[in-house]
Amino acid sequence: MRLSRPIGLSAAFALAGLAVTGCGGGAEAEERHAAKSPSSAPSTPSPSVTPVTEKPAPPAQMLPGAAKVVRPEMAPANGEKVGVGQPIALVFKQQKISKELRAGIEGRLKVSTSPNVPGAWHWNETKGDTRVHFRPEKYWPAGAKVTLDARLDGVKLAEGVAAGGDRTVSFTIGDSMVNTVDLKAHKMTVVRNGRTLRTISISGGDESKDFGTREGIKTILAKEGRVVMDSRSIGIPRNHPDGFYGSYDFSMRETISGEYVHAAPDNAESFGKENVSHGCIGMSTDDAKWLYGLTLKGDVVEVKGGTKPKPMDRFGNGYGDWNLSWQEWLEGSALGVRTG
């Protein structure tokens, strides 16, 4: 099903993508690529022992007394525990950043990790916002401690525009939770710290009606509990054969546009047999409650097996960061790999 009115939206939505639109299939994010998904999912690594030589960062250009100051929004929040798929995300709302300034800016964004996990920043512009995200080559190792020291106050972003505010954010990576959804088999396999805990019968999006579930790698953006879903939010009257309205429990958001993993008791006869939803991953209430209790924001959902593949947006509709190969990721970085 799809979102109408969630109870308790996460403030991180602005960091992950667009304003809430109400339907996973109704909003086309700017960075949708028909490009290939990574040939293999980025598994959780052991701490790297390969020496990394950092490219020296040039001095950032400073702009004291700038006419306009933009304070970036950041995720995760200080003190949070998040899943292994959670990138570090900064967004400069409605602000373009000159490419020639980006290396200096990256040099002011110091990421420290324990154990040491090298990673890299990647820049993206989506609908007027400039984003810079940091991730390792593979998923974060469980239990890692991460600190971002962002010394951006007064740093030039564009002519007449400077960043505002130095900030330090520390967070912890929780257990490795990687959920693999096979749309053809109508199953979700839940793997925690490398051990399969449960295989859940599910129903995904109905591709015959162009409601297919986005494929590729997504992360949990927010745990929203009970969500009221209304087909009018995607332009379908409630009395239409494809219309719907109702409350759905244990709802966990995957995309800004409204794809969820949630309890869907009204589709019980389809679990493990066919895909009948409007794009969400539905399951029994018992399974949804169990999964909800184990899940953190930033846990991974890998989706495959559709007959009409509909790729996950790389940016602008949640965290599609892991759908870029490591080489593609580095191509969007000004300085390349940082030691962590």
Residue 276 resides in a domain: yes
DSSP 239: T
- Residue type at 282? G
Q: Are 297 and 179 members of one domain?
A: yes
What pLDDT is attached to residue 239? 83
What pLDDT is attached to residue 327? 98
What pLDDT is attached to residue 235? 84
**CATH number of residue 196's parent domain:** 2.40.440.10
Confidence of residue 77 (pLDDT cuts 50, 70, 90): very high
Least confident of 15-19, 56-60, 165-169, 261-265: 15-19
Distance, CA of 150 to chain centre = 21
- Where is mean pLDDT largest: 2-16, 30-44, 233-247, 285-299? 285-299
- Contact 199/189 with Cβ under 8 angstroms? yes
Confidence of residue 193 (pLDDT cuts 50, 70, 90): very high
Structure tokens at 76: 């995760």
Q: Are 10 and 92 members of one domain?
A: no
Predicted structure pTM score: 0.87
Q: Are 195 and 163 members of one domain?
A: no
Considering the chain, what percentage of its residues have pLDDT values greater than 90?
Answer: 76
- Can you say whether the dihedral through the CA atoms of 236, 237, 241, 245 is positive or negative? positive
Confidence of residue 132 (pLDDT cuts 50, 70, 90): very high
Q: Which residue has the higher pLDDT, 33 or 65?
A: 65
Least confident of 78-82, 176-180, 246-250: 246-250
DSSP 31: T
Q: Are 115 and 204 members of one domain?
A: no
Which residues belong to the active site?
262, 280
Q: Are 167 and 126 members of one domain?
A: yes
Considering the chain, what percentage of its residues have pLDDT values greater than 70?
Answer: 85
Q: Are 215 and 248 members of one domain?
A: yes
Q: Are 91 and 126 members of one domain?
A: yes
Residue 60 resides in a domain: no
Kindly report the number of other CB atoms within 10 A of residue 126's CB atom.
Answer: 18
- Contact 264/272 with Cβ under 8 angstroms? no
**CATH number of residue 147's parent domain:** 2.60.40.3710
Q: Is the pLDDT of residue 3 over 60?
A: no
Confidence of residue 27 (pLDDT cuts 50, 70, 90): very low
Q: Is the pLDDT of residue 137 over 90?
A: yes
Q: List the one residue out of 95, 103, 101, 99 whose CA is nearest residue 120.
A: 103
- Residue type at 223? K
Structure tokens at 217: 């790698």
Q: Are 197 and 166 members of one domain?
A: no
Q: Is the pLDDT of residue 45 over 50?
A: no
Q: Is the pLDDT of residue 322 over 60?
A: yes
Residue 33 resides in a domain: no
Residue-range definition of the domain harbouring residue 236: 5-26+175-321
Residue 20 resides in a domain: yes
Upstream peptide bond of 241 is cis (omega within 30 degrees of 0): no
Task: Report d(CA 232, CA 278) in Å as an integer.
Answer: 12
Residue 47 resides in a domain: no
Q: Which residue has the higher pLDDT, 168 or 39?
A: 168
Q: Are 252 and 159 members of one domain?
A: no
Residue 82 resides in a domain: yes
Mean pLDDT along residues 40-46? 55
Least confident of 25-39, 141-155, 162-176: 25-39
Q: What average pLDDT is seen over the chain?
A: 88
Residue 230 resides in a domain: yes
Residue 43 resides in a domain: no
Q: Are 201 and 300 members of one domain?
A: yes
Task: Report d(CA 135, CA 120) in Å as an integer.
Answer: 6
DSSP-based three-state secondary structure for 114? strand
Q: Are 74 and 129 members of one domain?
A: yes
Q: Are 134 and 103 members of one domain?
A: yes
DSSP-based three-state secondary structure for 119? strand
Domain count, the chain: 2
